[in-house]
Amino acid sequence: MTLKEKYGGKALVAGASEGIGAAFAEYLASEGMDLILIARREGPLNRSGDDLEKRYGVNVKCIPCDLAEEDTQQALEKELAGMEIGIMVYNAAVSYIGPFMQDTPDNQTRAVQVNIAAPLRLVRHFGEKMLERRRGAIILMTSMAGLQGSGFLSLYAAGKAFSRVLAESLWYEWKSQGVDVIGCCAGATSTPGYTNSRPAKKNLFAPAVLRPDQLAAECFKRLGKQPSFITGRANRIASCFMHRIIPLKTAVNIMGDNIRKMYGIDDRMSR
Ligand SMILES: NC(=O)c1ccc[n+]([C@@H]2O[C@H](COP(=O)([O-])OP(=O)(O)OC[C@H]3O[C@@H](n4cnc5c(N)ncnc54)[C@H](OP(=O)(O)O)[C@@H]3O)[C@@H](O)[C@H]2O)c1
């Protein structure tokens, strides 16, 4: 059965203009699904939408908006109220790399809005309609950073833990009601966002970097079969070591040390 047959003909990708979100959009278009694409920057979003329409002959509606704004979240729900969304992918994220106390309160509020409040709201909105129809799928993008405490990525990691646990919990609650939920737990993936963060140093525990299209294909292969998954074999092996073999304290130290080295963070900056 195709995705379209199983879940319906329309999908929404929140955070869709580039990187992993664009790869999800392309995968869904290649399956013949019409799309609603959301991101802040109108130019890249429209270009991506036009390109998918031309190449796959699907209908694409682009909605440029900032998911950090509560009014926007509300307006989106109204605008999309009558639409039957078969698959919802929540991919947008705010990530700050650095000492917790050096991030601004405003930026931290934005991170909570984009990484926690908006996915919660959209899951509730679309989940309710999917449950009524007894079909649908929700994919929440999360991260290996959220599998344990991750110093210098603290709020981002906490938000990603929220999304993963929410996905896993709803997978259980909704699996008998025709709605599939999955947490897609990514390791390093070659996106503009990842490259722009300029990870400097590699070491023994540095993750294997996947391509966004590999990640999207793996996610659709696992959708409906498990509550969450870690992308890529090398990442799964690293996670097995970090979460099953060594003590939590060691894992948290390794993660914090790696991030500090990768991004050249000075300990004195933490205070
Ligand atoms: N890349 C990695 O190595 C990696 C690793 C682990 C987890 N992840 C997760 O995978 C997801 C995608 O990562 P990525 O690297 O592809 O991210 P990205 O390059 O930063 O792209 C994120 C997408 O979301 C949109 N977006 C960001 N903030 C938004 C906002 N406030 N409102 C609406 N749209 C917004 C961006 O477009 P605009 O800028 O135009 O808004 C873009 O289309 C994220 O959830 C990230 O946490 C990525």
- Ligand 1 pocket list (CB less than 6 A): 15-21, 38-41, 44, 66-68, 91-93, 95, 114, 141, 143, 186, 188-189, 191-194
Contact 137, 126 (CB under 8 A): no
CATH code of the domain containing 88: 3.40.50.720
Cα–Cα distance measured from residue 169 to residue 186, given in angstroms and rounded to the nearest whole number: 19
Please report the pLDDT score of residue 194 as a whole number: 87
Cα–Cα distance measured from residue 148 to residue 121, given in angstroms and rounded to the nearest whole number: 25
Q: Name the DSSP class of 251.
A: H
Confidence class for position 267, pLDDT limits 50, 70, 90: low
Name the domain count of the chain: 1
Q: Name the DSSP class of 164.
A: H
In the reported structure, the alpha carbon of residue 259 is separated from the centroid of ligand 1 by a whole-number distance in angstroms of: 19
Q: Which atom of ligand 1 approaches the CA of 114 most closely? A: 31
Nearest CA to ligand 1 atom 29: 92
Q: pLDDT over 70 for what percent of the chain?
A: 95
Confidence class for position 82, pLDDT limits 50, 70, 90: confident
Out of 27, 90, 156, 263, which one is annotated catalytic? 156
Q: Is the pLDDT of residue 91 over 60?
A: yes
Give the mutation target among 24, 36, 40 for probing the ligand 1 site: most ligand atoms within 8 A of CB: 40
Q: Is the pLDDT of residue 239 over 60?
A: yes
Cα–Cα distance measured from residue 181 to residue 226, given in angstroms and rounded to the nearest whole number: 8
For residue 139, list its beta bridge partners: 89, 182
Query: Shortest CA distance to 183 belongs to which of 210, 165, 157?
Result: 165
The string of pLDDT tens digits covering residues 181-222 is: 999 999 999 999 888 876 765 555 566 799 999 999 999 999
Q: Is the pLDDT of residue 34 over 60?
A: yes
Which residues have CB under 8 Å from 188's CB, separation 6+?
194, 199, 206, 207, 208, 209, 210
In the reported structure, the alpha carbon of residue 119 is separated from the centroid of ligand 1 by a whole-number distance in angstroms of: 13
What is the span of the domain harbouring residue 166?
3-270
To the query of whether residue 156 is one of the catalytic residues in this protein, the response is yes
Cα–Cα distance measured from residue 92 to residue 72, given in angstroms and rounded to the nearest whole number: 14
Please report the pLDDT score of residue 204 as a whole number: 56
